[in-house]
Structure 1
């Protein structure tokens, strides 16, 4: 059964997405429910499943393109099915163009085909993914015979060509060539390329004059000099969003950071006492405590629109979580009316799905306050940047075993410093201090949570 695959709408506020990767090439078989392509928004990347089984007949949106939600990105249909109407419906080229292109292809004559005189580029039928792989690997795809529908060149054709024409090179030579930026295709040699072959064509002649003559023969030094320089790396979509939002936050909010040290000994006892029932972390406990305190300090839980404070009678707690390619703020909804166990369970599930790239936009939106914990990295104190449109964020630092004086005696206590960054438009210093004092009361006497 044929269908038009579209850019999905993954959340209420999503208006567009970037198609970052096709898992199938044109002409390849697709099974319903199989991962077909990946979509990146300003907050996450999602794998999108095929709606129907068939052949990926047409790719309408190339990798890297950004389009509005519900815009057609591809067509899945049976191999012999007429998709001309689907092409017109989706705004793609007419199926007649494909027929004409095939009719204009010269018939192969009997005997050996002259591969040294390829036809014009516009007569070569190749899938977008196959073309991308070919260009990346400097492969002249005009010399390759396609095995896809209508003799189209597909991904497996390019990969087979690369494998059959792969340069024979030793592992050491391959690594050295990469380090010295040597193009292995320019080394003309019968047999395996070795380390000495790479060194012969490397840029050792360009060693700066400041290097002493006696060091010229020092190969490790030469290799390090050749590798010195600059490298430009494009930001990922997630990193670009983080950069823009941090810049926006700093320009919008006049902020002050307030630090307060608290005795976490009793909270530690509570945490340890619960381990036989369910595993709870300090972050889980602080989510519960801060959610409780925010109800008493509505300005810390508000947002600002123009000259108006938008006060919320609910707490949606955002928790910053570091992933390999950036930072996400996971949002646990209605924390002020949920128990500790439910908060712990939901937070663990959010973190698990974040690592598996299975989050929805609703998991990342609607936060009213954010907690970010760098204590596990040994940070003493820091000034977190507010997650807009919120007006405050709480930084959690490392726990330190500290000698303190109690009743004239020195005892060891577990102390922690919390750092509150607040928007001074909404939160004055005294208000911020009282908020931290109340958090401190709960941290040092967690039994208050049951009151």
Structure 2
């Protein structure tokens, strides 16, 4: 009996999604909880897994198709096995032995999946050139890719003709263009960034901070900290703590705008801008004021891992009262970060670079970092923004202030 495979129940803030990738093909055996398909929304990628063991008998919603909550994506036949699937694939071949004898390599190609056959056709390979590792010797896409890799490696030694390139280089002087549709996440990011610049009176103020005190402390305690907490001590935890303490002193920077109202938040949920293959995402660290340095570092690592693997959930990225963006990890020396609505401020961290600085009448080489605070001038005055950034600077340059609460 066939069982419907349905899209997840989307949150109220998500209207629909797009089928991004089917990880199984029709006729393939699947196991319970095995990943079947990814659904991309404008916030996160949701995974749909197999509810039971069986065979994927039908794909109803193909890739790049828009789907709504609980819409049927395909059908799974419970209790079927890989052998049953393979037997079904072999049945047409058994019914036409004469045609097999005449078809030669074409028959072998028929034992390959659609993706494998397409890849073989693009590179001029036949079934005789590829060793199938699937059920009953079926050729998979991975088998074709391995055969191509082996062929390319063997060509220099044998002096044979080069294998056809998947993406041949354009001829000299050719002006190549490639058009790729935006993903839903990328389109949503674009919409939010444009809206932030159109709807807010955005302004950016800058300062610079001497990183030597934090760097010296980190170097002195790194080994002991890692041994005690099982996580390395980074700079993000210090900046998070510094921002939280500064937010306590300047509540407007931790506020948001709702229509004609200003909402002052009595909690500190700090968003951490994280770059991923699918685009920029901002998971939120809840109650950052109640976390120690080790907890903050652990959660930052967790966010990075989830973003890389596409495992961030809607809950991970909902809310937030303030955001920190660290462009310094990519080498940015100075930038003007864009607000993350409905928040009214975002701190931009940048690359640490040694520069000559005047200290007590002497020139010293110090590791300096530019800081940028973009803020909504509708509710944050320039005085508050500057004082907030100076407070962050003072906490970083004199970490004892964080302990003494001064």
Aligned twin of 1:442: 395
Aligned twin of 1:397: 350
Aligned twin of 2:126: none
Deviation at 1:334, TM superposition (A): 0.9
Residue 277 of structure 1 aligns to a residue in which SS? Answer: helix
Cα–Cα, structure 1 residues 44 and 175, in superposed 2: closer, same or farther, change >3 Å? farther
Deviation at 1:288, TM superposition (A): 1.5
The alignment status of 1:349 with 2:338, answered yes or no, reads: no
Q: In the alignment, is the contact (CA less than 8 A) between 1:43 and 1:238 conserved in 2?
A: yes
Cα–Cα, structure 1 residues 172 and 423, in superposed 2: closer, same or farther, change >3 Å? farther
Inter-partner Cα distance in structure 2 for 1:172 and 1:236: 38
The alignment status of 1:259 with 2:206, answered yes or no, reads: yes
Residue 262 of structure 2 aligns to a residue in which SS? Answer: strand
C-alpha distance after superposition, 1:94-135 (max 9, x if no partner): xxxxxxxxxxxxxx899659x99xxxxxxxxxxxxx778878
Residue 353 of structure 2 aligns to a residue in which SS? Answer: strand
Deviation at 1:175, TM superposition (A): 4.7
Q: Which sections of structure 2, spanning at least 5 residues, go unmatched?
A: 81-94, 104-112, 123-137, 227-231
Q: In the alignment, is the contact (CA less than 8 A) between 1:315 and 1:368 conserved in 2?
A: yes
Inter-partner Cα distance in structure 1 for 2:204 and 2:164: 48
The alignment status of 1:58 with 2:58, answered yes or no, reads: yes
Cα–Cα, structure 1 residues 291 and 172, in superposed 2: closer, same or farther, change >3 Å? farther
Deviation at 1:46, TM superposition (A): 3.6
The alignment status of 1:277 with 2:225, answered yes or no, reads: yes
Aligned twin of 2:29: 29
Deviation at 1:317, TM superposition (A): 0.9
Aligned 1:201-212 pairs, distance under 5 A: none
Inter-partner Cα distance in structure 2 for 1:289 and 1:131: 55
Q: In the alignment, is the contact (CA less than 8 A) between 1:31 and 1:54 conserved in 2?
A: yes
Query: Which range is displaced more, 64-73 or 387-396?
Result: 64-73
Deviation at 1:174, TM superposition (A): 4.4
CA-based RMSD: 3.5
The alignment status of 1:430 with 2:378, answered yes or no, reads: no
Task: Work out which of the residue numbers 183, 189, 203 in structure 2 matches 1:236.
Answer: 183
Cα–Cα, structure 1 residues 35 and 110, in superposed 2: closer, same or farther, change >3 Å? closer
Aligned 1:20-169 pairs, distance under 5 A: 20-78=20-78
The alignment status of 1:309 with 2:262, answered yes or no, reads: yes
Inter-partner Cα distance in structure 2 for 1:444 and 1:392: 22
Task: Work out which of the residue numbers 322, 326, 329 in structure 1 matches 2:282.
Answer: 329
Q: In the alignment, is the contact (CA less than 8 A) between 1:289 and 1:449 conserved in 2?
A: yes
Q: In the alignment, is the contact (CA less than 8 A) between 1:2 and 1:52 conserved in 2?
A: no
Q: In the alignment, is the contact (CA less than 8 A) between 1:16 and 1:41 conserved in 2?
A: yes
**How does the TM-score come out when normalised to structure 2?**
0.76
Cα–Cα, structure 1 residues 377 and 64, in superposed 2: closer, same or farther, change >3 Å? closer
Deviation at 1:436, TM superposition (A): 0.9
Inter-partner Cα distance in structure 2 for 1:46 and 1:136: 28
Deviation at 1:429, TM superposition (A): 1.0
Inter-partner Cα distance in structure 2 for 1:110 and 1:339: 71
Inter-partner Cα distance in structure 2 for 1:178 and 1:109: 38
Task: Work out which of the residue numbers 223, 245, 249 in structure 1 matches 2:196.
Answer: 249
Inter-partner Cα distance in structure 2 for 1:172 and 1:109: 37
Q: In the alignment, is the contact (CA less than 8 A) between 1:331 and 1:363 conserved in 2?
A: yes
The alignment status of 1:381 with 2:334, answered yes or no, reads: yes
C-alpha distance after superposition, 1:269-303 (max 9, x if no partner): 23223312131211221011102211221211111
Q: Which sections of structure 1, spanning at least 5 residues, go unmatched?
A: 81-107, 117-129, 140-155, 182-222
Residue 266 of structure 2 aligns to a residue in which SS? Answer: coil
Residue 249 of structure 2 aligns to a residue in which SS? Answer: coil
Deviation at 1:25, TM superposition (A): 2.1
Inter-partner Cα distance in structure 1 for 2:22 and 2:332: 41
Deviation at 1:360, TM superposition (A): 1.4
